[in-house]
Amino acid sequence: MGRVVRVLVVLLPALLPGLTAPAAAEPAPPPWTGSWETAPSGTAAALPGAAVRNVVHLSVGGSAVRVRLSNRLGTAPLHLGAVTVALRAAGPAAVPGTLHTATFHRAPEVTVPPGADMLTDPVPLPVPAGADLLVTVYTPDDSGPATHHRTALQTSYLARAGAGRAADEAGGAYAATTSRWYYVTGVDVRGTGAGSVVAFGDSLTDGNGSSPDTNRRWPDRLAQRLSRHRLGVLNAGLAGNRLLRDGTGPSALTRLDADALDRAGARVLVVFEGINDIKGLPPAGDPAAFADAYRTLVARAHARGIRVVGVTLTPYRGYPAWTAAGEAVRQRVNALIRTGGLFDAVADADAAVRDPADPRRILPAYDPGDHLHFDDDGMAVVADTVDQALTRRPVRAAPPGHRR
């Protein structure tokens, strides 16, 4: 893994020339690195007057944070009456002395236009790697459909009478819970991070099948493995998402920039997507269409100086939507991923999780019972497979391109 980090660090001046301070000038501030992400999956009813205390789990740490709030799927201007960040003690309670108000161009309130995201100003809050962060969002008004991520697999908290409660260190006012993340879609940290790996996929990446409130999705496990190298891991998984057409949320090609390439410090894109196209309606049956889509993803990433790891599509026999025809397509798509030269490196998750007695099925030890997703042990195996792919084939320098 050390080779990967060395290559990534060498790439930084070429990909981010603005980080090189001119002679006799003050040193440039440390770069921003993505530490946590979720992709908007849809909308829920607004919670006027409520404060939502979102619990998010960081990968890398730093000396300051900034938060991305989203009204991307909203239909009306979103009025944020207060946003605070704090290290989490337990439940909805903050570590004393760590709660800070986040501002927007130095103002404590902001209105986010429909279809847009908004970054907070830097918040001077030191955060360690692997910390839980509380991002509390108070919405005084009914701003229409609330952009959210449905499959959070993380308990967050609600104060239904939220006026003034965003500043609470204690969690007593947060008597209700939610399994969704509201409005918050990213956290960047400022510090010595070497960049981020973006895990881009569907429910297999989103974490379905893993234990809630434990951070055992495969991107979380990968983050643990890469933390010693100061690499962040961002989870851009979206349950129900498709590669070739819209499903849950826009297609992979449509959301690529907003959920992956635009993220701070992105250095590597890990693409694990396509099974919903095969098992969905109408089913996708042309492997050449998959290859074209993968090539487009890779070309767009390379133009931004980001290298791409392709992950083979994993078995799903036993799932209600499995068919022999779909299995044949999966095998042909996997052959293209393995040997078609589409990606800079390949992680063979199919080989890692399939049952040797029936390669069309997930090994029972990794199957949570639905025959499609992975349990905690299966998630760990996928993380190991991606980590090994990075180690075996270090990410080479990408063609120069525009970087944030």
pLDDT in tens, 3-24: 444 434 333 233 223 323 333 3
| Residue 192: how many other CB atoms lie within 10 Å | 13
Name the amino acid, one letter, at 270.
V
For residue 27, what pLDDT is reported?
A: 57
Evaluate whether 74 touches 271 at the Cβ level (below 8 Å): no
Query: What is the C-alpha to C-alpha distance for residues 37 and 32, in angstroms, rounded to an integer?
Result: 14
- Mutual orientation of helices 287-302 and 324-339 as an angle, nearest 10°? 40
- Mutual orientation of helices 376-392 and 2-15 as an angle, nearest 10°? 70
> What are the backbone dihedrals phi and psi of residue 357, each rounded to the nearest 5 degrees, phi first?
-75, -25
Please report, rounded to a whole number, the percentage of residues in the chain having pLDDT higher than 90: 86
Evaluate whether 278 touches 329 at the Cβ level (below 8 Å): yes
pLDDT in single tens digits along all 404 residues of the chain: 444 444 343 332 332 233 233 333 445 667 899 999 999 999 999 999 999 999 999 999 999 999 999 999 999 999 999 999 999 999 999 999 999 999 999 999 999 999 999 999 999 999 999 999 999 999 999 999 999 999 999 999 999 999 999 999 999 999 999 999 999 999 999 998 899 999 999 999 999 999 999 999 999 999 999 998 899 999 999 999 999 999 878 899 999 999 999 999 999 999 999 999 999 999 999 999 999 999 999 999 999 999 999 999 999 999 999 999 999 999 999 999 999 999 999 999 999 999 999 999 999 999 999 999 999 999 999 999 999 998 775 444 333 333 33
- Model confidence pLDDT, tens digit, residues 90-145: 999 999 999 999 999 999 999 999 999 999 999 999 999 999 999 999 999 999 99
Please give the distance of CA 95 from its chain centroid, rounded to a whole number.
25
For residue 232, what pLDDT is reported?
A: 96
CA dihedral of 267, 223, 395, 310, whole degrees rounded to 10: -90
For residue 249, what pLDDT is reported?
A: 81
| Residue 339: how many other CB atoms lie within 10 Å | 9
Which of 206, 264, 224 lies closest to 65, judged by CA? 264
Residue owning tokens 């399994």: 179
Tokens, residue 1:
């893994």
